[in-house]
Structure 1
Amino acid sequence: MKGIGVDIIDLERLDIENVHFVKRVLSDKEYQLFLQMNSSKRRLEFLGGRFAGKEAYLKANHKGLGGIDFHDIEILNHDDGSPYLNDENACISISHENKYAIAFVVIEK
């Protein structure tokens, strides 16, 4: 199956102080990275990028929200800072601008 997906999120909708919500979105490894962020702005961008990335991945896989558990989708970073998914058939790009985060996913199988 091949697919593409895109998602955009208004960062102001996210509550980085709500630990339950943050842990619902992020995997354990992602959550550890989130805790290491040194500013609220960076944490918000990180969470928003992961949320948008996971939504875009679900769309690229032709799955609805809940079709794959967010914890099963993991987005980490290469040494150069570029993001990657825990699916070797998928490529992801994440960007932030002011109060928005956007992610684009392409799956080639």
Structure 2
Amino acid sequence: MALELSMVVPLAFLMLFALIQGGLYFHGRSVAHHAAQQALDAQRAYNAAPGAGQTAARDFLARMGGSLSGASVQVEDNGNQVSVEVQGSVINLVPGWDGHIDQRVQAPKEKFRQ
């Protein structure tokens, strides 16, 4: 009985931590996507100030309480198209698993036409 438990318990813990790790990964992915969307919406607005997207993403990530560690935000605005990329990492509970997250969104810049 003790031998069977000594084999099953570590496997059960590994499965439990893998399940929790999956939840952390998908939460982090959602946070990164929403931060990128916030930056995109701020930067593509008509007459948006330079750096508005970067500020919006940073504010959103700060409100999320550190869900992504080492988060970086790159905003590219070429005048017609805005693209935003948010990268970061989530907490790692499973040994050997890479918790890096990379989300990218893009949309055309808003223009006023008469």
Range into which the TM-score falls when normalised by the shorter chain: 0.3 to 0.5
Give the structure-1-normalised TM-score.
0.34
The alignment's TM-score, normalised by the length of structure 2, stands at 0.32
Greater RCO, 1 or 2 (C-alpha within 8 Å, sep 6+) = 1
Greater helix percent: which structure?
2
